[in-house]
Amino acid sequence: MRGNITRRGKHSWRIKYDTGIDPTTGRRQTAYVTIQGTKQDAQQELTRRLAALDRGEHVASSRQKVGEYLDEWLRNQHSLAPKTAERYRELIKVQIKPHLGAHVLQKLRPAHIASWHTTLLAMGRSDGGALSPRTVGHAHRVLRKALADAVRLETVVRNVCSSVAPPKVEDQELEILTAPQVSEVSRKLYGRALYPIAMLAFASGMRRGELLAIRWMDIDLDNAVLRVERSLEQTKAGLRFKAPKTKRGRRSITLPDTAVTALRAHRRQQLEQRIALGLGRMPNDALVFPASPTGEPRSPRCFTKEWGRTMGVLNLPPVTFHSLRHTHASALIAAKIDVLTLSRRLGHASPTVTLNVYGHLFVNTDDAAASAIDRALGELS
């Protein structure tokens, strides 16, 4: 007999089964599991576990809780970027552990995940308010990633998050400035500190962190080319420069004349300011958009707040700074720039990412394609 079943209570059964020889001690190993239900339920569980043993998929029983496992899992995520690790910790602390942390990891079921989603959507915020489907999706993906590692390490048999889809997120309309709005923003910002960085954002489609990390040594004004080599991010530990996530993030961008003109004026003003303050020549690795004349990096969060305040003071459209990137992409699509060129300019990992974000902006050209084929076939006849 490889296993047997013993009654423990009115609706409780103990399963005992042989799991093989311990390769270290040479002793035979035995597993014990308590099952609630009927004897038939216990028999089915024993059969399932013996079959898993035969397939080499047996997982030793453990009483480890979900919360304990997630704490241990986080400690082993050495390859995560600081900002990503910070976000994972926050989601686990606020959205996962309070609702699932007390469950035994090996007893976690798809029904628990579905119920968890419902709870988060109703009262998942730290203040007890409703959580957006997008944030629930973020929490779901973190738990799914953690459980995938548990499966790989043979701590659990399956990833229950894979059986339940996260809440559907409705597509959000991209913030894109119209041509008159772009003109208005440019005109009202002219002469202000935000003008040069806004013009470069419009002209290049760079992200906020990339713009705040750009150095004068990364820009060739004579040839109107800019090289994106890094980005600035803000974490609880402070500001840090980091390399792009993918090789596509490190890229060269050709600049239009308007951006070059704005950058030349900005550089001249910086030099004059340094001379007036007795700071001497500007080092080659100086930031293009620092927090102060002495060159400290600018906090991305503070910059975003400054942008919002300025939009209000100047009675400009209440758009985010990131909308300038969307506006840049929209203008290139309207100019019929192909998706591969656009993807490379924006620093996306692949054209698929570009199409996922901006695919709806590409005009349907199927009629033109049919006409082109018609002409080609006509030439053959």
| Residues 66-106 pLDDT 10s | 999 999 999 999 888 888 999 999 999 999 999 999 999 98
Q: Hey, what long-range contacts does 7-12 have (CB within 8 A, 24 or more apart)?
A: 7/39, 8/34, 11/36, 11/37, 11/38, 12/36
Tell me if residue 161 falls in helix, strand or coil: helix
- What are the tokens at 318? 């209440």
62/371: higher pLDDT: 62
Q: 196-213 burial by CB neighbour count: b if 16+ within 10 A, else e?
A: bbbbbbbbbbbbbbbbbb
> What is the predicted pLDDT for the residue at 56?
66
Average pLDDT, integer, range 329-357: 93
Report d(CA 317, CA 308) in Å as an integer.
10
Single pTM value for the model: 0.75
Cα 112 to its chain centre, rounded Å, is 25
Q: How do residues 290-318 score in pLDDT, each as one tens digit?
A: 999 999 999 999 999 999 999 999 999 88
Residue 15 near residue 35 (C-beta atoms within 8 A):
yes
* Average pLDDT of the segment spanning 248-266: 95
Question: 206: closest CA among 142, 149, 263?
Answer: 263
Which is more confidently placed, 374 or 164? 164
The pLDDT score that the predictor gives to residue 154 is 75
Sheet-wide strand order for 3-9:
3-9, 12-21, 28-36
**More confidently predicted of 21 and 15:** 15
Residues near 345 by beta carbon (within 8 Å), at least 6 away in sequence = 204, 205, 251, 253, 332
For 335, list phi and psi in degrees, rounded to 5: -85, 5
pLDDT of residue 366: 57
CA distance to 68, 234, 365, 378, 380, per residue, from 374 (Å) = 65, 55, 14, 6, 10
Q: Are 92 and 135 in contact (CB under 8 A)?
A: no
The mean per-residue pLDDT over the stretch 174-202 comes to 93
Strand partners, 252: 227
Q: How far apart are CA 92 and CA 135, in angstroms?
A: 12
Which of 1.10.10.10, 1.10.150.130, 3.40.190.10, 3.90.180.10 would CATH assign to domain 66-163? 1.10.150.130
Q: Is the Cα torsion angle 196, 198, 199, 204 positive or negative in sign?
A: positive
Return the structure tokens found at 265: 């004026």
Instruction: Tell me whether residue 96 is exposed, middle or buried, using C-beta atoms within 10 angstroms of its C-beta: 0 to 12, 13 to 18, 19 or more.
Output: buried
CB neighbours of residue 23 within 10 Å: 6
d(CA 113, CA 105): 12
* 179-334 is a CATH 1.10.443.10 domain: yes
The confidence band for 156, taking pLDDT boundaries of 50, 70 and 90, is: confident
